[in-house]
Amino acid sequence: MNLENISQAKVFGGWHKQYTHTSTALDCDMRFAIFLPPNATKETPVPVVYWLSGLTCTDENFMQKAGAFRKAAELGIAIVAPDTSPRGDKVPDDPNGAYDFGLGAGFYLNATQAPWSGHYQMYSYIVDELPNLIEAHFPVTQQRAISGHSMGGHGALTIGLKHPDSFCSISAFSPIVNPMNCPWGKKAFHHYLGDDRTTWAQYDSVELLKTQSSIPPILIDQGDSDSFLTEQLQPEKLMAAAEQTGHVIELRMQTGYDHSYFFIQSFIEEHLDFHATHLFPNTDDE
CA atoms within 13 A on the CB side of 11: 17
Instruction: Output the CA torsion sign for 5, 150, 237, 275.
Output: positive
Instruction: Output the CA torsion sign for 145, 157, 211, 124.
Output: negative
Four-CA torsion 160, 129, 26, 202, nearest 10 degrees: -30
Cα distance between residue 244 and residue 234, in whole Å: 16
Cα distance between residue 176 and residue 203, in whole Å: 11
**Ordered alpha helix ranges (H), 93-212:** 122-124, 130-137, 151-162, 183-193, 205-209
Gyration radius of the chain's alpha carbons? 18
Annotated catalytic residues are 150, 226, 259
